[in-house]
A and B are shown apart, each in its own frame.
Chain A
């Protein structure tokens, strides 16, 4: 019999959790059913197209739409003169939003090549395209700020508008100097710690504004419902945040907006920012007609959002024996033209890299986030941690090489261990951590001890490199996940969620949690989401939150529903609810006292989630009961039918929400084996092994694919995804011909194993896996290339030229 577990020793008892359950939407997806946004748009929707700015920084002197409006089929052309003059942000974040309110739907000032200048709505694609060409714009072109290392304090100021707004002083915004945010967190006496060091690695690392590259580009459609409200169907990770953005942008109450999320063709953080939802919502609000906007790949690459480009200066001080004593990290983050996710992403570059080496006597992490006239950055899997870990893990690798130490050995000497308070992680206690086991097992998998760091293979050199990674699980004290769990006729359940499955399988994961808690097959759980009119509030699927947070809400709701079931069944059977046991199929009434709790064997527990402990206790009753004969029983189906359909009608729904005071980090190791061609410099990843500690593995298949997919994205970031701008600020890498994402010829069979710790604050011991998996390839591959060639490439990607000749 399955049961709720609150400790590691009980994990083996789980039946639904851990099973490689097939994704609930697999059949629809694999038979090509019309389940994505553009498959569902009304046939009569107006086609919305955007005119994008050709200039990096300009003021619109005059804009003439008269010729465009004459194109047959064109219904409307909108410019900055037509939109509300109320600023908002497209960042999908919770109250109080950290990102500045620095956008309008359309602005008189355009701030990057690709910024929106005009909106065309037409009956057909052709008419819309023709109209775009006929809009005449007179630009006053201004000098742009394109180099983010010169943005701070530059005489050219990018945001001077008088209705610019920040929600909190804590971000240290100084827009007059192009500073979106800045900050500092330090512990220990840094200079004294450096004075103790025998060796200091002092290097600067640089990562680019990689594109998330989800296969489904940005798209949305809007229509007006029977109540006169605007319904937006969007490919988004954050339906509730999009509801707010649309309301803010159109300057209407949130109650006038409904957002629906169908199946999503990948997000990776890109869709944690709003994109074109505001345009179709605006067109529909203005015209009263349904409208849709489907971005091209070019628009998705060059007119949406990307990873934050970051330059990180690391000073890493150590003893000659490899003991890390002091770390000083300064991150400069390139925000681009608008402030989405700027104040928050940068924090992870330090707070989710430095804690790996928590034993250092002193650390300092300082940062600036600056506006430039390039495409705005947003969220991308890893969210700053990827960048910070490239810098810190590369520095640790360089330290090992300079000391002549094994790069794994130097890590064993310094790694964080469970039970520590993490100085650079809000002083949180680390409850669960198997990072050492992750590293040890990865070494075994690749045969580390039997291989040199570099081997000459004739026409190529083979190198070996390692890196570690951590992330979080939801944003502590900010994110919230909630579910409604309903008992239905015949005894199945509907689990209504606000978490947004974007292809990851979170709907399936949540069904597994509910099935485990309710002791039934996952097929008995119907999952529905997301429709902001119907679904309970959830901040959305980002920050590696859904499994950890919405999973916990699912468990809490299950417990509440079970308590109700026992109560109602007790009423029907004429017994006390304390004497009723629910085994998944039946409600069994026992003689009074049979189920009385012994009191012994209460597991040690952190106390953070008392509900989970309560659930566990109720399940332990089941273990004691079987010997006794029930005095009465009724089936769940009978109970459900009597409640829902019978004269005793009462429809049982349990609601529960979860947020967490802590964000438990998952950990991961990665070891890359690469070949560098001696003639061409081409780097080929020939083997990649990785071991993940995501806490309890909820669905082994889905967890494995998360890891394999994240590593492949990381390989792209490390080797080929080379974002380039022209001297005038036009992005050059604006198609999949020039922005080179890995194909199946570029990725070896990635080998992933798990070393699950048990996270006491997580559902069934689970932490997160979505983001931690992208962070190891860049530093591991850079180190492998360094071992093979002697060149330490500190600016990604590691192109053949850099591998062969150095930077």
Chain B
């Protein structure tokens, strides 16, 4: 703790927020103080994924981002993605995959980030976006811990959601599940 403060300004969920803060204050602590309580802390060692937010559209662990680095950038939390996350939230609820729900916001932020990356990568390559494989989903989301569900119900929810988003491949998934 340096004891000094710096003036920062970020775009938080579409609104400009300015404050004078310690430069090493974490983005996690800052957004919670701004009322974004969906962002949770569960480890302090960047192992759990619960504090996942978007920094300029990229999923990051907000516990590892000091405010000096967030300064001038756009930050999105689940509070700012209520409409965009509704479909995936419904898939989760219908599978009972939220359980205690403490890790859900971080997971949702990362699932939506994965979806967006798939679209952007496909667009850059001039291809149709493809439904990710189970391995790709597990690997992308490996940093999102959950102690309640054993991940299996989350996988069901994520598959269902991705299948609904990437219609071209939905058929293959449905067929796979019926095996």
Chain A residues at the B interface, C-beta cutoff of 8 Å = 20, 22-23, 25-34, 36, 39, 126, 129-130, 212-217, 263-266, 268, 296-298, 502-505, 699, 701-702, 704-705, 708-713, 735-737, 741-745, 747, 749-750
Contact = CB atoms under 8 A, between A and B. Distances in A.
Interface of B: 1, 37-40, 42-45, 47-48, 50, 77-79, 82, 85, 89, 92-105, 108, 138-139, 141-155
B44 to A, nearest CB: 6
A594 B44 CA distance: 69
A215 B150 contact: no
B102 A36 contact: yes
11 contacts: A27-B89, A30-B89, A33-B37, A215-B145, A216-B40, A216-B42, A216-B102, A505-B99, A701-B153, A705-B99, A744-B144
A737 B142 contact: no
Contact of A503 (B1, B138, B143, B148): B148
Nearest to B141: A744
- Central interface residue in A26, A213, A743, A744, by most chain B CB within 10 Å: A744
Contact of B148 (A27, A296, A704, A705): A705
Nearest to A735: B45
Nearest to A739: B47
Given A708-B153, A735-B43, A744-B154, A31 B78 contact: yes
B115 to A, nearest CB: 16
Given A32-B38, A745-B139, 17 more contacts: A23-B98, A30-B108, A32-B39, A32-B79, A34-B37, A126-B1, A212-B147, A216-B40, A297-B44, A504-B99, A701-B153, A705-B97, A736-B45, A742-B150, A744-B138, A744-B151, A749-B152
A217 B141 CA distance: 22
A744 B142 contact: yes
Contacts of B154: 744
B99 A22 contact: no
A214 B100 contact: yes
B47 A710 contact: no
B78 to A, nearest CB: 4
A790 B81 CA distance: 53
Contacts of A212: 147
A153 B128 CA distance: 72
A266 B47 contact: no
Contacts of A215: 40, 42, 48, 50, 100, 102-103, 145-148
Contacts of B104: 29-30, 32
A747 B96 CA distance: 18
B96 A20 contact: yes
A503 B102 contact: yes
Contact of B145 (A709, A713, A741): A741
Contacts of A502: 100
Given A30-B108, A297-B42, A298-B44, A503 B152 contact: no
Contacts of A737: 45, 47
A609 to B, nearest CB: 28
Contacts of A213: 147
B70 to A, nearest CB: 19
B153 to A, nearest CB: 5
A708 B153 CA distance: 8
Contact of B101 (A263, A705, A712, A741): A263
B38 to A, nearest CB: 2
B92 A30 contact: yes
A745 B79 contact: no
Given A30-B104, A216-B102, A503-B100, A266 B147 contact: yes
A701 B43 CA distance: 29
Contacts of B155: 744, 749
A709 B96 contact: no
Contacts of B47: 735-737
A129 B99 CA distance: 33
